[in-house]
C-alpha cells in the first residue's frame, strides 16, 4: 500500500470464478481523489463482475481492497457495512424501489442505514434530487418517471450517502438514445465537482476529456491502460482504439 494520501481506493490482484469459469484473472487499480476512471472493453470481459467485486456485492476469491489507505476486512460485518456506505453503486437498470416515490427512494437509506431523522433525511434527499435536476419530481414513483429520470434518482440516492467513491456500471446503456444526454450531463457535472468515480461505459466520446486513465478490460484482465491521448490517438496501435473505432458505428453520442 502506498502512503499517498490522495489515493481513495486501491484494489490489488482481484480474482473471481463464476460457474467454474475464471471471470477476473488478477485485476489491480488505484483511484485517486477526484479521478474518473473509465472501464471499457468487449461485453463479457468482466467489467460488471469487477465493479460488483469492488463493492463486495460479489466477494472476490482473492485480492485486497484498501479504502483511504486502510485494508477493508470484509469478514467483519461492521467493516463491510461501513465500506458499503462509502462506496456508492449505480446500476444499468436503476434498482429503485417501485413502491417508494423519488424522495423516499433517496431518503430511505439515510433513515434506515444512517439513522437520520425523517425530516432531515427528507431535506437532504430533496437537495440531492435538486442537484440532479429533479426537484419537481420528488413525489413521483418510478413507474411515472422516464428512464433518464430514474437513473438520476439513483444517482441522487448514491450522492445522499456522501460516498467517497461511486461505481457506475454502464449507467446509460438501458436508456433510449434521447435520454442518454441528461444522465451523462449529471455525471459530467459530478466529475467536474471532484467526485471520485469508476465508470464502465461505451460513451467514450462524451467522457474522454474528463478522465486521466482508461482501463481496457478483456477476458478478465486489464490489458491496456493509460490516458485517452495515449490509447486513442490516431496513430495509437491499441486494442482500445480498435474497439472504440468499432463502437463509433454502434453507440450514438448525445
Ligand atoms: N453468476 C454467473 N455465473 C456464471 N458466469 C457468469 C455469472 N455472471 C457473469 N458471468 C460471466 O462472466 C463473464 C463476464 O461478465 P460481466 O462481468 O458481466 O462482463 P461485462 O460487464 O464486461 O460485459 C461473462 O462471460 C458472463 O457470462
Ligand atoms: Mg456489464
**pLDDT for res 5:** 52
DSSP state of 252: P
Span between the terminal Cα atoms of the chain, in Å: 40
Continuous segment of H or E residues that includes residue 47: helix 47-54
pLDDT category at 3 given cuts 50, 70, 90 is low
| pLDDT, tens digit, 9 for 90 and up, residues 135-167 | 999 999 999 999 999 999 999 999 999 999 999
Q: Which domains does the chain have, with CATH numbers?
A: 7-94+166-248 (3.40.50.300)
| pLDDT, tens digit, 9 for 90 and up, residues 211-223 | 999 999 999 999 9
pLDDT tops 90 at residue 247: no
Kindly report the average pLDDT of the chain as a whole number: 94
**pLDDT for res 162:** 96
Q: Which three cell numbers stand for residue 182?
A: 441528461
| pLDDT, tens digit, 9 for 90 and up, residues 171-183 | 999 999 899 999 9
| pLDDT, tens digit, 9 for 90 and up, residues 91-150 | 999 999 999 999 999 999 999 999 999 999 999 999 999 999 999 999 999 999 999 999
Q: Ligand 2 mean position to 93 CA, how many Å? A: 11
| DSSP secondary structure letters along 143-192 | GGS-HHHHHHHHHHHHHHT--SEEEEESTTTTS-HHHHHHHHHHHHHHHH
**pLDDT for res 105:** 98
Q: Which sign does the torsion angle of CA 206, 208, 214, 219 carry?
A: positive
For 25, 48, 64, 89, 119, the CA distances from 60, given in Å and listed in that order, are 11, 13, 9, 17, 38
Q: Which residue's C-alpha comes closest to atom 27 of ligand 1?
A: 44
Residues with CB under 6 A from ligand 1: 18-19, 21, 23, 43-49
**pLDDT for res 9:** 98
228, with CB counted inside 10 A (0-12, 13-18, 19+), is buried
pLDDT category at 184 given cuts 50, 70, 90 is very high
pLDDT tops 60 at residue 1: no
Alpha carbon distance 67, 73 (integer Å): 11
| pLDDT, tens digit, 9 for 90 and up, residues 21-32 | 999 999 999 999
Mutate-to-test residue for ligand 1 from 20, 42, 44, highest number of ligand atoms within 8 A of CB? 44
Nearest-atom number in ligand 1 for the CA of 45 is 22
Alpha carbon distance 103, 124 (integer Å): 9
pLDDT tops 80 at residue 251: no
**pLDDT for res 124:** 97
**pLDDT for res 205:** 87
- Name the CA dihedral angle for 19, 24, 26, 31, rounded to a multiple of 10 degrees: -140
Amino acid at each position: 500500500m502506498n502512503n499517498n494520501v490522495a489515493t481513495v481506493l486501491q484494489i490489488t490482484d482481484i480474482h473471481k470464478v463464476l460457474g467454474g469459469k475464471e471471470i477476473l484473472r488478477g485485476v489491480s487499480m488505484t483511484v485517486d481523489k477526484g479521478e474518473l476512471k473509465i472501464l471499457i472493453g468487449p461485453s463479457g470481459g468482466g467489467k460488471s463482475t469487477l465493479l460488483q467485486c469492488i463493492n463486495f456485492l460479489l466477494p472476490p476469491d482473492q485480492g485486497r481492497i484498501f479504502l483511504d489507505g486502510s485494508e477493508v476486512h470484509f469478514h467483519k460485518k461492521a467493516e463491510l457495512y461501513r465500506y458499503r456506505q462509502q462506496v456508492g453503486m449505480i446500476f444499468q437498470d436503476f434498482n429503485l424501489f417501485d413502491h417508494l416515490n423519488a424522495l423516499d427512494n433517496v431518503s430511505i437509506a439515510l433513515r434506515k442505514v444512517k439513522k437520520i431523522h425523517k425530516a432531515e433525511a427528507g431535506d437532504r434527499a430533496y437537495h440531492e434530487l435538486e442537484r440532479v435536476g429533479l426537484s419537481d419530481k420528488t413525489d413521483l414513483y418510478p413507474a411515472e418517471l422516464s428512464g433518464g429520470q430514474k437513473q438520476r434518482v439513483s444517482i441522487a440516492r448514491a450522492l445522499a450517502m456522501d460516498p467517497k467513491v461511486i461505481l457506475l456500471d454502464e449507467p446509460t446503456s438501458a436508456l433510449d438514445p434521447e435520454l442518454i444526454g441528461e444522465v451523462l450531463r449529471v455525471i459530467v457535472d459530478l466529475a467536474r465537482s471532484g467526485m471520485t468515480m469508476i465508470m464502465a461505459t461505451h460513451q467514450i466520446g462524451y467522457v474522454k476529456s474528463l478522465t486521466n486513465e482508461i482501463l481496457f478490460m478483456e477476458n478478465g484482465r486489464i490489458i491496456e491502460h493509460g490516458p485517452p491521448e495515449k490509447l486513442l490517438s490516431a496513430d495509437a496501435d491499441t486494442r482500445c482504439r480498435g474497439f472504440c473505432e468499432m463502437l463509433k458505428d454502434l453507440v450514438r453520442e448525445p
